[in-house]
Structure 1
């Protein structure tokens, strides 16, 4: 495994991706950020004014999808959802507009799934970027690996979650 200082950026990893990138999220909250703070204050996004919310991340995703890369994101969440997840559900419109496929799985439906302990991105089923967070949800370090056992565990976990999860446009926040 290589640690954060030696890892290419997400954009570089995705640029080298040929067929698929999958992302599994396991937390009910992540570190505070200005966009979340604005939402908490009552600010809402004008989804028709794309220039006001489209970020470089969205373009990176759109470019990869245009090249034929299938990008899927699955989130395992507790219900009732946290305030952070309520916000993530709201801003997922940007992910979907950029070309990601997103699904939601209530944690109670994941009890029998062998899950890794950390969020990850898996690129082309061959390269794994593992995210390590502190207790408040800030990224402490990322690791990059191609260890076969980890690739197999994470790919299987993601596919099981994906098969059970509800597509974004059908998942209703409770």
Structure 2
């Protein structure tokens, strides 16, 4: 399948019926590092929740209709600055209704999880993220091959019970810094 810009699949976040699951495998994301919130975080300023951010508004609306957003973030030991930032900002997403969990890279490797990011909608639509060496998303691939979709479902099902709630891990990380 050809790569398309991420913007071409954003409609899926409003159209899914039951579940939207994300696996995040990167040590950081260029879009985060370029933002003012990340720069402030690196100066020791805690990111504040953004309840009116369009992402959080959509999560609340989908949750109110019975749909569920969830994700597992793979982190290193110790976490990178990018991973620490994601844990610090997760509280706002969780308040909106998203369930975000963390899994160590060691456990992810033991579970043979993919080493690439993806979104999985309603256990039938797979969006594989293509991210370059600078951690920039260069496009996404909409995958309709049933075997690949099933493999993503299996990865989700293996990762989820092994992952810990972000708030728990973030509290441990913060106390060690």
Is the TM value for this pair above 0.5?
Answer: yes
> Are the aligned partners of 1:20 and 1:71 in contact in 2 as well (CA < 8 Å)?
yes
1:130 maps to 2:128: yes
Q: Find the aligned partners of 2:80 and 2:167 in 1 and give their Cα distance.
A: 19
Cα 1:131/1:26, change in 2 over 3 Å: same
| Aligned-pair CA distance for 1:107 | 1.1
In 2: Cα distance, 1:138 partner to 1:5 partner: 12
1:8 maps onto 2:8 in alignment:
yes
Q: Which moved more, 1:32-41 or 1:140-149?
A: 32-41
Classify the secondary structure of the residue corresponding to 1:118: coil
Cα-Cα RMSD: 1.9
Contiguous gaps of at least 5 residues in structure 1? none
How do 1:139-150 residues align onto structure 2 when only pairs under 5 Å count? 139-150=137-148
1:152 is aligned to 150
TM-score, structure 1 normalization? 0.88
Q: Deviations over 1:5-24 (max 9, x none)?
A: 497332x1022111111000
Alignment coverage as a number of residue pairs = 169
Q: Deviations over 1:75-123 (max 9, x none)?
A: 1111111111111111001110111001101111222223223100000
Distance 1:19 1:2, change over 3 A: farther
Q: Is the 8 A contact 1:61 1:100 kept in 2?
A: yes
The two structures have a TM-score, normalised by structure 2, of 0.87
CA distance in 1, matches of 2:52, 2:6: 28
Q: Does 1:63 align with 2:61?
A: yes
